Amino acid sequence: MGNKILEINHLKKQFGDTVVLHDISMSVEAGEVVAIIGPSGSGKSTLLRCATMLETMDGGELIYEGIKAVRDNGSGCSYADALTMRDIKKKFGLVFQNFNLFPHYSVLQNVMEAPIVVQKRDRAEVEKEARVLLEKMGLTERADAYPCQLSGGQQQRVSIARALAMKPDMLFFDEPTSALDPELTGEILKVIKQLAAEKMTMVIVTHEISFAKNVADKVVFMADGYVIEEGRPEDVIDNCQSERLKAFLSKMTE
């Protein structure tokens, strides 16, 4: 591997007096699937929001493919200039837990919108690619439907297609199945598994432990704003070292 897509060094984040992330460092290599697990309130989603620059960092560095998005200047963080930022933001896509689709756009329009508006790409070419993505997601028949006419699982598959339409180098998923019932959860995990097989670089915040074990190359366990353990799934999930992780896993498998 050796080709780092993302590097986070000594990330700190606080809201008011509450420190939410303490000195978090992690990296993601090209083609790697990293699952982040941990109890609610452990800072997983905040970590993702800092990595995708939806939240500002209070300390630390953020580097995408060797380009510094955020540097630590000792007393806080400075962000790269607008032009550099625009390039960096092209490198990743984000799939939210609540889909965030445009309700007044059809499925096809939802997938086509950003490549046309943001990337200024040719409409006919974008449409062709969008239809291929919808086919891959099993949504060919639903291209002209609106989000309100879809199941939660279908909406989530549209939002994955939408993220892929931008041709990012990596995808972030924030609890992609938490808004779905168990039956629909399976269809989303299947899609993510397929992307993993195609060597798509992904960081997935999830509470699906068996999925993390089967699909991830690396599992990161967070609690109380710290990374407690990280490593290969068989080490972290099957032979965990910390009492904190043991307690978490036994709760999750009850």
Low-confidence ranges of the chain (pLDDT < 50): 1
Closest CA to 254 of 207, 205, 190: 207
> Is the separation of the CB atoms in 188 and 110 below 8 Å?
no
pTM higher than 0.85: yes
pLDDT of residue 56: 93
pLDDT in tens, 228-245: 999 999 999 999 889 999
Q: Are strands 170-174 and 92-95 parallel, antiparallel or unpaired?
A: parallel
Residue 181 main-chain phi, psi, to 5 deg: -80, 165
Give the pLDDT of residue 254: 66
Residues 224, 20: Cα–Cα separation, whole Å: 7
| 105: phi then psi, degrees, rounded to nearest 5 | -110, 145
Decide: 225 and 42 in contact? Cβ < 8 Å.
yes
Q: In whole numbers, what is the pLDDT of the chain averaged over residues?
A: 92
> Residue 102's pLDDT is what?
94
pLDDT at 135: 95
Residue-level pLDDT at 105: 96
Query: What is the pLDDT at residue 1?
Result: 44
Residue 146 CB neighbour total at 10 angstroms? 16
